[in-house]
Structure 1
Amino acid sequence: SVIPYICDQLAMARLPRASFALMLSLLPLTATLIGIVVLRQVPSVIDCIGLALVIAGVAMHKPAANT
């Protein structure tokens, strides 16, 4: 768990905040896709609903206007 933490910290230092937040919000989707492809896991209906909610939230997000 140290290596992912270090990678997160390095990414947070190098990326704009909005990009890092978007990357973090898509982690459940990424983890599920890796589980399907690598581990041959089948997500449950609840898992799929959760992923749909995450994707909808990211899609509906509107960035703050620069003032």
Structure 2
Amino acid sequence: MFLSEGSRRLVLTFFDVNSLKILQLLEIKDMSAGELAEKLGLGLSTLKCNLDSLLDADMYGFLR
């Protein structure tokens, strides 16, 4: 079975533990990038990559 590009990005995003943790934290309350990075123990550049992946997978509604 072949996935569309959008579906492939979505699946890969949800296989990333940090992306799932970001969504879980943002479900509880709004947080800045600095707060998320500190809470997850990530560098800002790593966090940005994860946020970009979520946005790329059309998860923007979950990040607002």
Shorter-chain TM band: 0.3 to 0.5
TM (norm. structure 2) is 0.33
Task: Point out which structure has higher relative CO (alpha carbons under 8 A, 6+ apart).
Answer: 2
Q: Which has the larger radius of gyration?
A: 1
TM-score, structure 1 normalization:
0.32
